[in-house]
């Protein structure tokens, strides 16, 4: 059996970093026909670990993320799209896994560490937040997933999930499946920089292009993109390292020969930023126009979107309950069976 599980926190609309880092890969995997089951989770409970005071925003973003999924052609006939908080088995599994993980191991998780610094939690870290890698291990194992397509920033989560699986299996017998991370083969896509040239596209940094941005917004964002500050006159030789426009061409343009030619011309001198940006804009628009159109369609049919989520959640619940029973039996806490 080949099973995929992956997901996103509903803390905002999804952006191009999500698209090339994960969404586009998921759709490819979905359409490859190589997977028996595909589960895509909207991780609202995880979003609440650091947005407990704003459940309304999380609720609204569940809908936004669902629209993003459907608009990039995650297909509910092939992929089960569901909402994390509606799967009780996940919380039971989390409780049992918690006994196998030390607080210091959680504090050492690089992703958690980064986020704690970024959010200025300092010593007031919500316990639920600190433990979210454990709940993420539950998310993955509850579906017997062996393939987890995610961005590079999630690698420490997968590492910790694998540790939990090994511990569970060691103590209770072979009860869980060890998951593998699946990263995009295109290096540039694993961590897309923001339009300002900062290492990561992120909502907090305010340097995103969203899948739902309209043409005018995207055109303005491409115009202000960070290029080479030393490339002043068109005739000056330019640098492509750290030049976001070229990084994006590597991530989005299928025509590698044209990109290589442009890079060469730019480095030689004589190719202006305006021209390269115009080309990038065309490349992005070709990808985003059909996505935008499908988004608009679903946006006008909110009942249909909710129905997709409800059906997906029912299917997910059935699978997770089955795995939970298996775990409880292995732990010998199935007293009344
Ligand atoms: N941590 C992921 C994010 O921040 C979301 C997520 C929750 C997830 N559970 C998961 C990803 C399980 C992969 C597998 O977007």
Q: pLDDT tens-digit profile of 184-235?
A: 888 888 889 999 999 889 888 899 999 999 999 999 999 999 999 999 999 9
Q: Does the Cβ of 7 fall within 6 Å of ligand 1? A: yes
CA 239 to ligand 1 center in whole angstroms: 36
Residue 108 to residue 280: CA distance in whole angstroms: 40
| Eight-class DSSP state of 243 | -
Q: Does the Cβ of 43 fall within 6 Å of ligand 1? A: yes
Task: Give me the mean pLDDT over the 139-162 stretch.
Answer: 95
- Give the closest residue (by CA) to ligand 1 atom 3: 8
CA 277 to ligand 1 center in whole angstroms: 33
Q: Does the Cβ of 64 fall within 6 Å of ligand 1? A: no
What DSSP letter does each residue of 150-169 carry, written as one string?
A: --GGGHHHHHHHHHHHHHHH
Residue 137's pLDDT band, with cuts at 50, 70 and 90, is very high
Give the rounded distance of the alpha carbon of 175 from its chain centre: 27
Q: pLDDT tens-digit profile of 315-328?
A: 999 999 999 999 99
Q: Does the Cβ of 141 fall within 6 Å of ligand 1? A: no
- Give the closest residue (by CA) to ligand 1 atom 8: 7
- Please, what's the b/e burial string for 309-326 (b: 16 or more CB within 10 A of its CB; e: otherwise)? beebbeebbebbeebbee
CA 140 to ligand 1 center in whole angstroms: 9
Q: Does the Cβ of 44 fall within 6 Å of ligand 1? A: no
Residue 41: phi and psi, rounded to 5, are -105, 135
Instruction: Look over the chain and give the mean of its residue pLDDT values, rounded to a whole number.
Output: 95
pLDDT given for residue 172 in this prediction: 98
Q: pLDDT tens-digit profile of 240-260?
A: 999 999 999 999 999 999 999
Q: pLDDT tens-digit profile of 10-52?
A: 999 999 999 998 999 999 999 999 999 999 999 999 999 999 9
CB 230, CB 236: distance < 8 Å: yes
pLDDT score of 290 more than 90: yes
- Give the closest residue (by CA) to ligand 1 atom 15: 8
pTM: 0.93
Residue 53 to residue 214: CA distance in whole angstroms: 30
Q: Does the Cβ of 112 fall within 6 Å of ligand 1? A: no
pLDDT score of 154 more than 90: yes
Query: Using N-to-C axis directions, what is the helix angle for 302-330 and 88-98, rounded to 10°?
Result: 40
Q: Does the Cβ of 109 fall within 6 Å of ligand 1? A: no
Q: Does the Cβ of 150 fall within 6 Å of ligand 1? A: yes
pLDDT score of 236 more than 90: yes
């Amino acid at each position: 059996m080949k099973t995929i599980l992956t997901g996103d926190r509903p803390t905002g609309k999804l952006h191009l970093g999500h698209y090339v880092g994960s969404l586009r890969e998921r759709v490819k995997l979905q359409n490859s026909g190589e997977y028996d089951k595909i589960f895509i989770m909207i991780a609202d409970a995880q979003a609440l670990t650091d947005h407990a005071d704003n459940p309304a925003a999380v609720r609204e973003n569940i809908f936004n993320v669902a629209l993003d999924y459907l608009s990039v052609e995650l297909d509910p006939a092939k992929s089960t799209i569901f909402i994390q908080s509606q799967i009780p088995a996940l919380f039971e599994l989390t409780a049992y896994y918690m006994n196998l993980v030390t607080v210091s191991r959680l504090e050492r998780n690089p992703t958690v560490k980064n986020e704690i610094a970024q959010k200025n939690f300092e010593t007031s870290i919500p316990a639920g937040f600190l433990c979210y890698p454990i709940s993420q291990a539950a998310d993955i194992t509850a579906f017997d997933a062996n393939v987890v397509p995610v961005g590079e920033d999630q690698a420490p989560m997968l590492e910790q999930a694998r540790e939990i699986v090994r511990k569970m299996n060691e103590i209770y017998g072979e009860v869980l499946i060890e998951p593998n991370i699946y990263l995009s083969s295109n290096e540039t896509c694993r961590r897309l920089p923001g339009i300002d040239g900062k290492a990561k596209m992120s909502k907090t940094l305010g340097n995103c292009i969203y899948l739902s941005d309209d043409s005018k917004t995207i055109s303005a964002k491409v115009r202000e993109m960070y290029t080479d500050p030393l490339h002043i006159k068109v005739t000056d030789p330019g640098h492509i390292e750290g030049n976001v426009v070229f990084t994006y061409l590597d991530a989005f343009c299928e025509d590698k020969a044209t990109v290589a030619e442009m890079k060469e011309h730019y480095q030689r001198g004589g190719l202006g930023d305006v021209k390269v940006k115009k080309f990038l804009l065309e490349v992005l628009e070709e990808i985003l126009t059909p996505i935008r159109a499908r988004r608009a369609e679903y946006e006008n049919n909110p009942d249909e979107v909710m129905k997709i989520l409800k059906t997906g959640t029912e299917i997910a619940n059935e699978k997770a309950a089955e795995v939970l029973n298996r775990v409880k039996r292995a732990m010998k806490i199935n007293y009344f069976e």
